[in-house]
Amino acid sequence: MGALEDQNTSVVQQLGEALNGHRLDLLDRLVAPDFVRHCQATPAVQVRSLDDFKRFLQEEWVGTPDGESKVRFIVAQREFVALYWTYAGTQRGPWGPFPASDRRFEVDVSGIFRLEHAKVTELWVTWDNLAVLRQLGHLSLPAAKA
């Protein structure tokens, strides 16, 4: 990896540590003010700025106060950093229309971060909503036919 990739990888790792530690104060130096989050799994959630991102995270932490991400692997190329991680926690509060279940879940997550001037400017993130909702008891699937 080159110097740019090393720098961008470090920024994304620091962001992960800040999120795991619920450290919103660190985001000002890691995330651009015009940050945009793209997520097909949560189409109603619009994050179009650093302030939106902070509000989103605060709501996420109410729903999952013990949520923690563990990096599985990270790859960088130019201004992009791709990350694959496992997110696990207990749903203690509501998630949109889903009430607290007090159940644990674990899900693999993929994300691609774009950085400019050592700040995250954009994130494309996705995960398997059905897997999470089943683990939390919010969704049951019909039994498989024999």
Residue-level pLDDT, tens digit, the chain, 146 residues: 699 999 999 999 999 999 999 999 999 999 999 999 999 999 899 999 999 999 999 999 999 999 999 999 999 999 999 999 999 999 999 998 999 999 999 999 999 999 999 999 999 999 999 999 999 999 987 877 87
pLDDT of residue 144: 78
pLDDT of residue 21: 97
Inside any domain, residue 71: yes
Inside any domain, residue 121: yes
CA distances from 140 to 134, 135, 146 (A): 6, 9, 18
pLDDT of residue 96: 86
Number of domains in the chain: 1
Inside any domain, residue 16: yes
Inside any domain, residue 140: no
Inter-residue contact 102 to 90 (CB < 8 Å):
yes
CATH code for the domain in which residue 44 is found = 3.10.450.50
pLDDT of residue 143: 78
Inside any domain, residue 106: yes
Distance, in Å, from the CA atom of 19 to the CA atom of 12, rounded to the nearest integer, reads 11
Closest CA to 97 of 35, 27, 45: 45
Query: Is residue 16 within a helix (H) or strand (E), and if so which, with residue range?
Result: helix 3-20
Domain that holds residue 92: 3-135
- pTM for the model stands at 0.92
Inside any domain, residue 145: no
The residue to which tokens 């015009």 are assigned: 34
pLDDT of residue 62: 96
Inside any domain, residue 142: no
Distance, in Å, from the CA atom of 143 to the CA atom of 45, rounded to the nearest integer, reads 32
